[in-house]
Each structure stands twice: as structure tokens, then as C-alpha cells.
Amino acid sequence: MDQDEITEIQQSFPEDKQLCQSYLRGLVGDVGSRWETVGNLIYGFKEERLAFLVCKQFSEFGKGGYEHWMGLMYEKGIGTEQDPHVAIEWYWLGASIGDPECQYEIGYAGISGLFPNSISQSEGIRMMAASADRGYHKALSFMGMMYAVGLGVERDPQKAFSYYCKASEAGSDTGIQNVAFCYQHGFGVTQDIRKAMKMYQGLADKGDVEMKISVIECRRMLDEQMHLYV
């Protein structure tokens, strides 16, 4: 980091010294506190350039946990010029030290064919599976989708359902929705429309309009079943 960037960081930090110290404590804390601090800089205070410079500085100091942020900022052009190729380099760096979010990004890029010259589909699948093995909810949902449709792997509804359940247990709303879909249609598991409706209702209670529609669809399916037995 050159002197101009250091000066820019010093000038960009909030004038409130107490707030400044709070940021610094967060940035040198554990990975969770770093993520929260950088996220606040970007999305709370709209200090995108400052967030980028801070991440760059700490990554150069050998502080782990910034690789995904650096990749994301280069990918989206947050606080710096957009450069997908540099983003991938950062994701690779994070993936190489076992960062599940970076592994997911590499996996997604490889499976989707975004960088065919640098990431093969087989490499993408391997990285996605590695991320899922570490319990990352997005990777778990994506692996479920892959087995559901046979994307890069042999189609296997039971494995798809298993991955969806793991994503749901990790707290993913997408995972919960997919598990509910499987119960609704008997995909990879014995059909249980009532269980599906209960799961959809939980998501609908959070304000998800589409899930409210799914609840109505489940009720319609139950009504049809009732008429079959009359």
C-alpha cells in the first residue's frame, strides 16, 4: 500500500474518534467482527472506498478473512474498479486456505462456465463440494440443485433432498423452501403436503409473498386429495 492510500484511509475515517477506534477494534478482531465491520462501512455508512482500502491494507499485513471481501469488491466494483479476473484471484487465494465462501465463488464460476480458461467444471464441482462439506449454506443449496437436475453429477433426488435439509438446518431460507418443495411433490422423500405447507407458512410469516402462494397451492392439493377419498 502506497503513502497516498494510507493518507486516504486516515482522511476517510469518521471524525468521531470513538467510532474510529470501534472500527479499528473490529478490523483486528476475529473473522466475524471483521466481516461485520467491513459490511457496516459498505452498507451502513456507504464508505465503499474506505472499506476497500482497509481490506487491502489488512490483507497485505497477512490478516486472514479478507479474501472474500476483496474478491467481492473487485467483482462488483465496490470501492475500486471492477475487475472479475482479479476477483477470481482473490477467491482462489481464500479457497486455497479453506474459506468456504471463496470455495463457493470458485465453484459457482467453474460450474457456470464464467471463466472456462481458468476454472474447469470439474474443478468447480470439487470446490462447491468442499464448501458444502464445511457447511456453507449457499453451497449446500447449490449442491442440492445440482443433484436435483443432474448438473455435472448424476441426477439423484435423495441426495438433492439431503443437501437441501442440511442447508435448511444451517438456517437458509432457500434451503427451507427447497425442503418444503420436496415434501410437497414427493421429490426424494415421501410426499407430505401438510409438512410442506407448515414450512411454507413459516417463510410466508416473514413476509415472503411467493411462499404465501405456495401455502395456497398446498391447500388446493390437500382439498383435491380429500375429494379423491370422498
| Domain residue ranges of the chain, discontinuous segments joined by + | 3-178
Is the per-residue pLDDT at 26 higher than 70? no
- Select from 115, 12, 138 the least CA-distant residue to 68: 138
| 48 vs 106: CA distance, rounded Å | 24
Is residue 129 a contact partner of residue 150, using CB atoms and an 8 Å limit?
no
pLDDT category at 193 given cuts 50, 70, 90 is very high
CATH superfamily for domain 3-178: Tetratricopeptide repeat domain (1.25.40.10)
Looking at residue 230, its pLDDT comes to 47
- Condensed to tens digits (0 to 9), the pLDDT of residues 149-158 reads 999 999 999 9
CA distance 203 to 184: 15
- Please give the span between the terminal C-alpha atoms of the chain, in angstroms, as a whole number: 76
Q: What does the pLDDT average to over 120-128?
A: 95
CA dihedral sign, ordered 158, 164, 168, 170: positive
Q: Cell triple for residue 53? A: 482500502
Share of the chain above pLDDT 70, in %: 77
**pLDDT bracket for residue 181 (50, 70, 90):** very high
* 3-state class (DSSP) for residue 35: helix
C-beta separation of 70 from 59 below 8 A: yes
Residue 96 has pLDDT above 90, yes or no: yes
Tell me how far apart the alpha carbons of residues 38 and 27 are, in angstroms, rounded to a whole number: 8
Residue whose C-alpha cell is 470501492: 79
pLDDT band, residue 62 (cuts 50/70/90): low
Buried b (16+ CB within 10 A) or exposed e, 96-121: eeebbbbbbbbbbbbbeeebeeebee
Q: Say which residue the cell 438433492 belongs to.
A: 160
Give residue 93's pLDDT: 93
Q: pLDDT-derived band of residue 17, with 50, 70 and 90 as boundaries? A: very low
Share of residues in the chain with pLDDT > 90 (%): 63
